């Protein structure tokens, strides 16, 4: 089951800047597609669906986590930006078209191989 969750997501776990596509670095403009789940620090509204497609500027990338511990299936990194009312907004990196359209970096390919090895060790 863990392997299925990992194979569905290109980005899972914590990533360094060198491991992320150039299109989703701090200051880059990225697309938030209509219907994507947005997580927010806004009081009374922890998550919402994007009502339309729009562009935002990346403030930073929030760390994800590897499978295990408090997040049995792992957590993908999130694109973070200051949104409505000055509250922080976040979207799963796997929901950003610019991230998925880019070619994997060498560091990302290495990370994927390490993660596959880690997942195999969990099965043993």
Q: What is the pLDDT of residue 69?
A: 65
Q: What is the pLDDT of residue 72?
A: 67
Q: What is the pLDDT of residue 58?
A: 95
Interatomic CA distance for residues 67 and 120, integer angstroms? 12
Mean pLDDT split into 10-residue runs, the chain, 124 residues: 51 79 91 95 91 95 76 82 92 92 70 71 69
Q: What is the pLDDT of residue 3?
A: 40
Q: What is the pLDDT of residue 4?
A: 43
Total-model pTM: 0.75
Q: What is the pLDDT of residue 80?
A: 95
Can you spell out the DSSP letters for 24-92? GSTT-EEEE-TT-EEEE--TT-SEEE-SS-EEEE--EEE--B-SBTTBTT-B--EEEEE-GGG-EEEEE
């Amino acid at each position: 089951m863990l392997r299925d969750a990992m194979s569905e997501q290109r980005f899972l776990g914590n990533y360094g800047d060198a491991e992320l596509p150039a299109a989703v670095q701090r200051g880059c403009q990225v697309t938030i597609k209509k219907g994507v789940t947005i997580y927010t620090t806004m009081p009374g509204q922890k998550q919402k669906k994007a009502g339309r497609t729009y562009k935002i500027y990346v403030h930073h990338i929030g760390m994800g986590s590897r499978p295990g511990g408090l997040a049995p299936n792992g957590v993908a990194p999130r694109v973070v930006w200051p949104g409505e009312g000055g509250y922080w907004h976040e979207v799963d990196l796997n929901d950003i078209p610019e991230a998925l359209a880019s070619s994997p970096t060498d560091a990302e390919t290495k990370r994927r191989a390490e993660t596959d090895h880690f997942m195999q060790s969990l099965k043993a």
